[in-house]
Chains A and B, each alone.
Chain A
Amino acid sequence: MFYQLHGSGFNQPRTDLPYGKIGIVFLPIAAKEGIHMEMPAPSASVLSRKDQIVSRLKAVLPDAAVISDVMETRAYECDGLTAYRCPPMCAVLPANTQEVAAVLKICHELDVPVVPRGSGTSLAGGALPTADSVILGVARMNDVIETNYADRYIRVQTGRTNLSVTGAVETDGFFYAPDPSSQLACAIAGNIAMNSGGAHCLKYGVTTNNLLGVTMVTMDGQIIEIGGAHLDAGGLDLLGVICGSEGQLGVVTEATLRILHKPEGARPVLMGYDSSEVAGQVVTDIIKAGVLPVAIEFMDRPCIEATENFAKAGYPMCEALLIVEVEGSDAEIDAQLALIMEIARKHNPVELREAKDADEAGRIWLGRKSAFGAMGQINDYMCLDGTIPVSSLPYVLKRISEMSKEFGLDVGNVFHAGDGNMHPLILFDANKPGDLELCEEFGAEILKLCVEVGGCLTGEHGVGIEKRDLMNVQFDPADLEAQMAVKDVFDPKWLLNAAKVFPLDCSAPRRAA
C-alpha cells in the first residue's frame, strides 16, 4: 500500500537539499505523524552518543556530506510512504564505495543502526528511518563507470536513476529494461533492494533478471564483488538473494546491468468489455495463443471513469479495459495485433481500437498513465501491490467489490494483467477520523485474499514496514526463520534496516542480541 493524500504536491524537485542536484525527491506532504505502525524503541545508548558518532563520521567524509542538524535531517524523515515519518539521527551522503565502507565500519563498531536510501521513492517504507539510525544515501553516487555494447552491459554507481541508465545508452539504440513507474526519480540502488518491476516485465523480467553483478559493502565495512560481465553464479547465487533483500544484507554501491537493443517499434491496442471475467478470459486466450505481448494492462470501471474525467483519453465506459502492447518491425506488429484482435473480437468487445500511429498510441496509454493521478483527484487513496494467479482475477475482483461495500470505501483496480500484479486503489478521506485506519484494514483484507488464492502480498513494491506485519499470513515461522538466517550471515548484529520486512516480534530476539 502507499498513500497519496488528496491534492498534495507529489513528485516535485527539491532544491533545498545538500548537494543541489540529487534528483527528484518526493515532497513530504501534509501528514499525520506516525500513525500506528509500530517501530522499535530507539536505542538510548546510540542517541546519547550522537555527537561522538557524528564526529567520527565527519572524520571520514567531507563535513557537508554529514547532515546532523535537526531541521536538515527532516529531509530524510520519510520515503514515498508518506503516512509514516521519523527523522533519522543523522544522514550521510558518501561519494564512492570507499566512503560507504568507512561509514559502515564506524557504525558497525559503534553499534549504530543504518538505513540505506536510494532516491527515497519506496512505497513500502523501505527507507523510513528510525530515530537512532544513520541514513546512508547513495544519491551522490551516480556515475556511469563503463558501457560495453559488445558484451551488452553497463556498469553504474547505484545512486543513478533508472531512467538515466537508459539515458546513457539510448543514443546508441540500447535500453535498460526494468521500468518502474517512478523511473524518472528512483535509483538503481532502490531497484536492486526491492527487485523492482514495471509495466514491461512480462517480456523482459524484473530487476533480478537484468542484474549481472554488484559491488556491495557489508555492514562491517567489507567490500565484496559478486558477478560481473559473465552470466550466472559459479557457487551459490548470492546475487539472487541480495536482489530484493530490501537493503538488509549490504549497501550495493555499483551494479553491472544488462542492456538490450531497442525493438524496432511498439504499438498498443485498446479493448473494452462488459465484464471483467470476459476480459480475464481474453488475457488468458492471448497468452495461450503463443503471442507474448510486452505489456497487458487492465483497468476496471471506477478507474476508467476517474481517468476519463481527469485525462479525457477517450476511453469507452465499460466494466473492463485492456491495453495490450506488442513489439517488432511494422509488419511483425501488424501480424501480432491481427492475431490479438481476432481473439479480442471473439469475446464481443464494446470497443476495439488499434493505434495507427504514435499519436494514437500515446492517447491509448494516456489514460493508463494518468490513472493514479486521476484517482487522486477524487480523494486520498492507498495503492496495494498484491499478485494473484491470473486465473483468479474474476473471483478476486468480485470479492474486492463486495468488501468495498462492507467497508464503505470505493476501490479502483489497475493492474499488470499478464503477470497478475494488481494495484487496487482504495479511496479514503485523510481528514475524516478513522478513515485511514479503516482503509488500512480493508487493504490488509485484500492482501490476505491475494495470498488465499495462491498469490502474494507484494509483487513489486516490497514489504518494507507496510506489509511487514502481514508476513505471517504468507509464511510459516520456519519460512521466516530461514530468511532471517540469511541476514544473520550478512549482518550478524542486525544493524542494517532491521525494523523492516520481518514482523517485529519475529526479529526481536535477533535485534536485541
Chain B
Amino acid sequence: MSTPLIQTRQLTISFGAHKAVNNVSIEIEKDIFTTIIGPNGAGKTTLFNLISGLLRPTGGQVLFKGTDITHLSPLQRVALGMGRSFQLTNVFPALTVQENVRLALQAQARIGYRIFADHRKFRQLNEKTGLLLEQVLLQEKKNFLAASLTHGEQRKLELAMVLALDPEVLLLDEPTAGMALEEVPAMFELLDRTKKVTDKTIVLIEHKMDLVTGLSDQVIVLVNGSVLAQGSPPEVAANPAVLAAYLGGGVLSEACA
C-alpha cells in the first residue's frame, strides 16, 4: 500500500483538563474525498488546526506523505502543498474579489519580492484569476469589494483562493457554514465539479451528513474528540456505534433513515 497523503498518529491536544482531540489516528489516501462529520464541539475544526499547523498538539504526530510535519509552521505546510479554508469566513474584506484571488495566485507565482514591478502587468496571473472566478461563478462580481459580497459568495471566494494555491490537498472547513439554505446546493455542486475537474485530495468538514453522502469516498465520524467510525458512507451509516451515538434525532438521523 502506498503511503497515505495525510496521516495522524495518536494525535491529542488538551486545553487544561479538556481533551479536544483525543488519540486520533486517521489516514487520508491520495485522490480520496474524505468528509469529517460530527456534532458541535466534536473537535473537527481543532483537528484541522492541528493538521494545518495553527495549533501544536500536546501528543502524537502529523505526517504528510510519510514525513513528520508535527513541528512545521503553517507557512511551511502551505509550501508542502496544504491549502485550507476556514469555518469563519476569512478573506481580505477591503480588497476586490479579483485582488483576493490574484493575491492567492501571486503567492504561488513567487513574485512577491519584485518591489518595482507593477502588479497589474502579470498577464498570466490576471487570466488565471479570471478562470478561477469563472469556476466559482463569481466572474461578474470581480470588481466588488469582498466585504460587499453575500456570505455565500464569500465562501465561494474562499474556495477560489484555496484552489488558486493549487495545493495537493484541500482542507475545507465547513464551506457551507452560515450559508442561507438555498445557497447550500450550489456550493456542493461546486465541490462536486471541483472534485471532477481537478485531481485534488479533498478533506471536508461538514455538519450535515445527508448532504455529503453522494460526494464522499470516505467518512470519518468524530465524537468528543475521538474517532467513532471510519469507512464508506453506507458503512458508516450502518455502523451500530454511530447509530447508537445519534439515536433519537442526531446529526446523522437523515442519512441513516
Q: Do A and B come from one complex?
A: no
B: residues with CB less than 8 A from A are none
